[in-house]
Amino acid sequence: MDDTKQDFEGIPATRAGEPHKFVRDIIWVGIAQLFNSIIVGVGTMPAITKYYSADVYGIWTQINTTVTLLSPLIAMQFSLAVVRFLAGEDDKAKRRKVLGTMLSAITIASIVFLVAGLLLARQLSVILFNTPDYSVFAILTVIWVIVSAYFVFVISYLRARGKIRLLAVRQVIVSIFTLAIVIIMAMNKIGLEWIVISVIGIWIIFTFIFYIMVIREVGFPHPNFTGLKNFLAFSAPQMPGGVLLWFVNSSDRYFITHILGLSQTGIYTSSDTLGGLISLFYFPIQFVLFPMVSRLWEQKRIEGVKRYLEQSTRLFLTLAIPMAAGIALLSQPLLHILTTSQFLIGSEIVFFVACGTILFGIYQINVNIILLIKRTKVLPLIIGGAAIINVLMNILLIPRISLIGAAISNIASFFILATVVTIWARKQVGYGIDIKYLVKVAGATVIMSAFLYFFKAHGIWWLIAAAVAGTLIYLVSLFLLKGFSQRDKRLIKNILSGIIPRIH
C-alpha cells in the first residue's frame, strides 16, 4: 500500500498505517475508558451504596462532580491547548518551553485556589452539600481538584505525542488501584474521608509517574511565561465555556441536592451513571481524534479532517444508539444487583440520560472544528445558550416531575450543542450525515430492543447473556438490513488487519 492510496473511506494518508493506528488507539483508549467507567464508576457504586447511606453516596458523587468541573479551570484549559499546539511540534526545546510556561501558570492558579478553599471551607461546604458540616470534604475536594488538574494536563501531553497505548495501560492501572482502595475500605466501614484521601494519594503517585515520563522525553520544563499570552488567547475563552458546559452536564445534581436532598442526588446518580456509559464510545474517539485532526489541519489536509469527523460520528452512533436502548432495558435488574431497592426508580431516567449522552457525544466529536479554526471565543456563547436552557428547565421541571425533569433538561441542552457544532462542521469542511444508514441502525436497534423487552434477566449471568445475545441480534439485523456497504466491509477488514496482522 503506497502513501497515495485512499484509506479509511477516502482519507488520504501521509503514511499507510495512519488510519489503522487511529483505530487501534481508539480501541486502547476504549479499554481504558471501560475500566474507568465500569470498573471505577459502576464498580464503586455497590461498594458505597451497600455499606453506606444514600447521603454518603450523594457526598461522594458531589465531590466527583466538582472535581470534574473545577480541575480543567485550575489547569486553565491548557489540556486542550497542549494538544492543539504540540501535536505537530517536533522540536523538543520548544515543547519543553511551552510545558514550562503552562505548568507555571497552573501552579500559580493552584496556590490561589488552595488558599481560597482553606479560608472558605464552610461556605464551599454549603454550596456543595447544602450544609456547613462537611467542611472537611470541601477541603479534600479542593485538594483533589488541584491534583486532578496536574494529572489531566500531563496525560494531555502524552496524548498530543501519540503515546496512546502506553497512556491507556497506565490509566487502567490507576482505575484498578482506585477500585481496590474503595472496595477494601468500604467493606471495613472506614470513613468516607479516608477513602477520598486514599484515592487522592493514588492520583498523586501516578501524576508523578506520568510527569517523569514527560521529563525523560523533553527534559525538565523550567518555569517561565514565554508565549503565555498566545496560549491564554486560545484557552481563556474555554474557561467560562468549561463552566457553562459543566452547568449543562452536571448542574442537575446541585439542583437535586438543594431542591430534593442529598439522598435523591445519590439515587439519581446511580441511574445517571448507567446512562452515562455511552461515554465509553465517544470519549475514546474524541481522545484520539483531536490530536489526529490537529496534525491533518496543520498539514492542510482538509479532506482528511472531513472524513475523520464523518466516520467518527458514524462509528459513535452505530455503537451508541443500540447501547442506549439496551442499557435502559437492562438497567433495573442491573441496579438491583449493584445497589439496593432504594435506587430502583425506573428505566425511563436511564434512557433519557443515555439519549442526552448521545447528543453530547456528537457535540464532543464535532466541536473539534471550532478548536481547529481557533474560534474558541464563540464557545462560551454557544454553551451559554444551552446552559441557560438547562438551568431554567431544571428549576421548572425538578420540583414538578422530580428526577426525570433533570434528565429531560439535559436532553434539551445537549440537543442545542450537538445541532450548532454539526452545522458549523458542515459549513467548514462540507460535513455530511448518512441519514439512510442511521435509519437502518435505528431499525436494528428496535429489533434488538424487542428481544430484550421480553427477556427477563435475573442475576448477573442472565444479564451477561442478555447483553451478548442483544449485541448479536443487533449486528445480524444491521447486516440483513444492508447497513454494511462494501466500503464498510473494506473498512472493517482494514481495522482487523491493523489489529491482527494475519488478516489481509
Residue 349 has pLDDT above 90, yes or no: no
For the segment 139-186, what is each residue's pLDDT rounded down to a tens digit? 999 999 999 999 989 988 887 887 777 777 777 788 888 888 888 888
Q: Percent helix, strand, coil in the chain (nearest 5)?
A: 85, 0, 15
Which one of 73-82, 108-117, 448-457 scores highest in mean pLDDT? 108-117
Residue 487 has pLDDT above 70, yes or no: no
3-class SS at 237?
A: coil
Residue 321: predicted pLDDT: 92
Residue 11: predicted pLDDT: 45
What residue segments make up the domains of the chain, in order of their start?
A: 43-236
Q: Which residue has the higher pLDDT, 475 or 504?
A: 475
Residue 124 has pLDDT above 70, yes or no: yes
In this prediction, residue 8 has a pLDDT band, given cuts at 50, 70 and 90, of very low
Which one of 273-277, 285-289, 318-322, 330-334 scores highest in mean pLDDT? 318-322
Give the mean model confidence (pLDDT) for residues 26-41: 68
Q: Please report, as a single letter, which amino acid is at residue 186.
A: A
Does residue 395 contact residue 257 with C-beta atoms inside 8 Å? Answer: no
Q: Which of 504, 493, 496, 490 is nearest to 9 (CA)?
A: 490
Cα angle vertex 424, ends 419, 427, to 5°? 130
Does residue 433 contact residue 422 with C-beta atoms inside 8 Å? Answer: yes
For the segment 176-209, what is each residue's pLDDT rounded down to a tens digit? 888 888 888 888 888 888 988 998 999 999 899 9
Give the mean model confidence (pLDDT) for residues 88-116: 89
CA dist 122 and 128 (Å) reads 10
Decide: pTM greater than 0.85: no
3-class SS at 96?
A: helix
Distances (CA, A) of 264 to 191, 209, 215, 375, 392: 21, 38, 45, 39, 20
Residue 486 has pLDDT above 80, yes or no: no
Does residue 196 contact residue 137 with C-beta atoms inside 8 Å? Answer: yes
Residue 261: predicted pLDDT: 74
Residue 40 has pLDDT above 70, yes or no: no
CA dist 274 and 37 (Å) reads 9
Share the mean pLDDT of the chain.
Answer: 80
Residue 7: predicted pLDDT: 45
- Which uninterrupted H or E stretch holds 423? helix 403-429
Chain mean position to CA 228 = 27
For the segment 237-247, what is each residue's pLDDT rounded down to a tens digit? 777 777 777 77
